[in-house]
Each structure stands twice: as structure tokens, then as C-alpha cells.
């Protein structure tokens, strides 16, 4: 005969006036139907259906504890505890420091995001997405602000964001997560145990696509004559000075770690007239807009419109 251990009451969330007992793994939470139902239509529906459990506290019946009905959930107890904590503590998200790094952000929101997505706890899910959005921009303007902040991503952390986004239906963060992941060395990427092989392939293919865009669209002035001089240029010395030749070593560094969305600022180094600089700047900005618009498609995510439609359905 297999012995089944009795559930353990949560020290933090066992309220004497609680109207429902939630059993997760081997931990029992006595909480309030009204609070959970207010935030989740899934819970509101769930509480109308009796749910049997495998074990009980004390001598109570299989479907109640201290006369309170029991609902069994197949979730991770640590994740569920974080969700209950966020629902019962109005300032729970204030515990996250404004300057928290990505490691802290993902650790803080992962469990809440997974459970709030599963049970359609809209307010908590939106808070989690807002937190992730600070490190995963979904507009070019926000991308520029993040680049200017010079934030450094750790490869071991950025790869965790991709499966989290997929399992929690937050495709909004995927284009930038993949963009950053293309800068991970080939060997490290192939040996990574977090990403699926499909996502590893997307990163490797994306590296090639981004490098081609950097050479031919956003930073073309480093590699050829930018399509010729603007009609307004009257300086015969401008065309021979374009492109500004790069060393093979620097070219190889860019190929390994492409960054076509990086804003070029050293326009004086081109050594051309103001008209030609203005022309190159215009092509550079239009190129960056083109790359941003097409970024999701590079990683088989459709368009930005497709992403938001999927995320908000």
C-alpha cells in the first residue's frame, strides 16, 4: 500500500475566514473565492465545480477541510504562491527595484506570468508584461532608448526569456530576445540546454539575416558608395571617399555579432560634404526602420501586427 502524505497548510496563506482551499502539490492554501474570482474568470468558473483531491488535512472528508471546499490544481507550488502573494499584497511589484537587472526581472515575474496566463488573471499578466517590456522593446523608439542606456545582456539570462515568452504567450518580447541572442557565440548557442533546437536554428539563421541587413541596408556607407551621391552634392571628392573602408578584423567582428539597429553617430569620419552626410543619415534611418519592421519575420514570427494580435487574443 502506497502511503500518501497529508497536505501541509501554507503558513502565509491560511486565512480562518477563507472560503476555499486550494491544494497545489502538497500545500494547502485557504483563501477567498471572492478575491480569486474577481481577478480571474477561470477561477470564477472553477469554483462552481466540485473538485476531488487525493488527500486531506486531519479527518476531513475528501472534498472539504474544516467544512471548506477543496480545489486541486496541478501547478508549481512556488509559482502559485507568488500569484497569491501578488493578489493579496497590493504593492508586491514595488519590491522589484527600478534598476533591477534582467536576471532579477525574469526571476520575479516568471512564476506569476505562467500562472496568471493559465488562469487569465489579466491584471497580473499585464504587470508582468510591463516589467519585461523594460528590457524587451516592441517599438523602435523604445529600442533606441534601451540601446542608449548601454544595458548589457547576459547570454544565460536572455535565452530563458524565449521559452518563457512562448509558454506564456508573450510573443511581443521575442523579436528583441532573438535579436540579442544572435550575438551569442555559435559554440555556446549549440551547447545551450534552455533553448529548443528550433529556436537555436532561428538564432543562427537570424545572425546571417541581420549581417546582410547591416551591410546592405543600415550601414551600407561602410561597405559601398551608398547608391551614389545625392544630386545636391557638388564636391567631386565625395564619391571616391565612399565607402569608408573598414579593416577585415572589424568586419569580422560585425559579422559575428551583427547590430544593424545600432545608431551610427561618427558622421565626420566619412569625410564627405554636409549634403552627402545628410543623405547617408537619411538612408541610415530609413534602413533602421526597415529592419525593425521586418525583425519579427526574420525569426518566423510574422509581423508586429501578427504578434500583438496573437498576444491579445
pLDDT tens digits, residue range 190-241? 999 999 999 999 999 999 999 999 989 999 888 776 556 677 787 877 766 6
Q: How many domains would you assign to the chain? A: 3
CA 127 – CA 85 distance, rounded (Å): 14
229 and 194, same domain (yes or no): no
152 and 187, same domain (yes or no): yes
pLDDT tens digits, residue range 125-166? 999 999 999 999 999 999 999 999 998 888 888 999 999 999
CA within 13 Å, CB half, 245: 4
Q: What is the DSSP letter of 215?
A: I
CA 62 – CA 55 distance, rounded (Å): 7
Is 45 part of any domain? yes
Q: What is the DSSP letter of 17?
A: T
Is 184 part of any domain? yes
Q: What is the mean pLDDT of residues 230-253?
A: 71
CA 258 – CA 212 distance, rounded (Å): 9
190 and 237, same domain (yes or no): no
Is 310 part of any domain? no
pLDDT at res. 285: 96
Q: What is the DSSP letter of 244?
A: -
Collapse the DSSP code of 27 into the 3-class scheme (helix H, G, I; strand E, B; otherwise coil) and give the result.
strand
109 and 196, same domain (yes or no): yes
Is 294 part of any domain? yes
Contact present, 170 and 135 (Cβ < 8 Å): no
Average pLDDT over the chain, rounded to whole?
A: 87
What contacts 213, CB < 8 A, 6 or more positions away? 258, 260, 287, 290, 291
189 and 242, same domain (yes or no): no
What contacts 77, CB < 8 A, 6 or more positions away? 24, 25, 26, 27
170 and 278, same domain (yes or no): no
Strand order across the 64-65 sheet: 8-14, 27-31, 20-24, 68-73, 64-65
Domain boundary among 200, 220, 242: 200
* Phi-psi group of 302: left, alpha or beta (phi > 0 → left; psi -120 to 50 → alpha; rest → beta): left
38 and 21, same domain (yes or no): yes
The pTM of the full predicted model, rounded to 2 decimals, is 0.87
pLDDT at res. 256: 83
174 and 102, same domain (yes or no): yes
The dihedral formed by the CA atoms of 148, 151, 157 and 161, expressed in degrees to the nearest 10: -30
Is 307 part of any domain? no
55 — pLDDT class (breaks 50, 70, 90): very low
Amino acid at each position: 500500500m502506497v502511503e500518501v502524505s497529508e497536505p501541509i497548510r501554507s503558513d502565509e496563506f491560511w486565512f480562518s475566514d477563507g472560503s476555499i482551499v486550494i491544494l497545489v502539490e502538497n500545500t494547502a492554501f485557504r483563501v477567498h473565492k471572492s478575491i480569486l474570482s474577481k481577478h480571474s474568470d477561470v477561477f470564477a468558473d472553477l469554483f462552481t465545480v466540485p473538485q476531488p483531491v487525493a488527500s486531506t488535512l486531519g479527518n476531513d472528508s475528501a472534498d472539504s477541510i474544516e467544512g471548506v471546499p477543496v480545489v486541486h490544481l496541478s501547478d508549481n507550488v512556488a509559482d502559485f504562491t507568488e500569484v497569491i502573494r501578488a493578489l493579496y499584497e497590493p504593492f508586491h511589484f514595488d519590491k522589484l527595484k527600478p534598476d533591477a537587472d534582467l536576471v532579477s526581472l525574469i526571476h520575479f515575474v516568471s512564476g506569476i506570468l505562467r500562472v496568471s496566463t493559465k488562469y487569465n488573471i489579466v491584471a497580473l499578466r499585464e504587470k508582468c508584461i510591463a516589467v519585461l517590456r523594460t528590457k524587451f522593446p516592441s517599438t523602435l523608439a523604445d529600442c533606441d532608448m534601451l540601446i542608449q542606456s548601454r544595458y548589457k545582456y547576459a547570454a544565460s539570462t536572455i535565452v530563458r526569456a524565449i521559452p518563457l515568452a512562448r509558454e506564456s504567450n508573450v510573443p511581443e518580447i521575442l523579436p528583441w530576445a532573438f535579436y540579442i541572442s544572435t550575438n551569442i557565440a555559435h559554440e555556446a548557442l549549440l551547447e545551450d540546454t534552455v533553448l529548443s533546437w528550433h529556436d537555436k536554428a532561428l538564432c543562427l539563421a537570424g545572425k546571417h539575416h541581420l549581417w546582410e541587413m547591416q551591410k546592405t541596408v543600415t550601414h551600407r556607407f561602410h561597405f559601398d558608395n551608398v547608391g551614389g551621391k545625392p544630386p545636391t552634392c557638388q564636391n567631386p571628392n565625395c564619391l571616391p571617399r565612399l565607402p569608408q573602408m573598414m579593416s577585415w578584423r572589424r568586419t569580422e567582428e560585425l559579422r559575428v555579432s551583427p547590430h544593424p539597429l545600432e545608431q551610427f553617430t561618427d558622421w565626420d569620419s566619412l569625410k564627405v560634404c554636409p549634403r552627402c552626410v545628410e543623405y547617408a543619415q537619411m538612408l541610415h534611418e530609413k534602413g533602421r526602420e526597415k529592419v525593425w519592421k521586418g525583425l519579427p519575420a526574420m525569426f518566423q514570427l510574422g509581423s508586429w501586427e501578427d504578434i500583438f494580435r496573437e498576444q491579445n487574443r
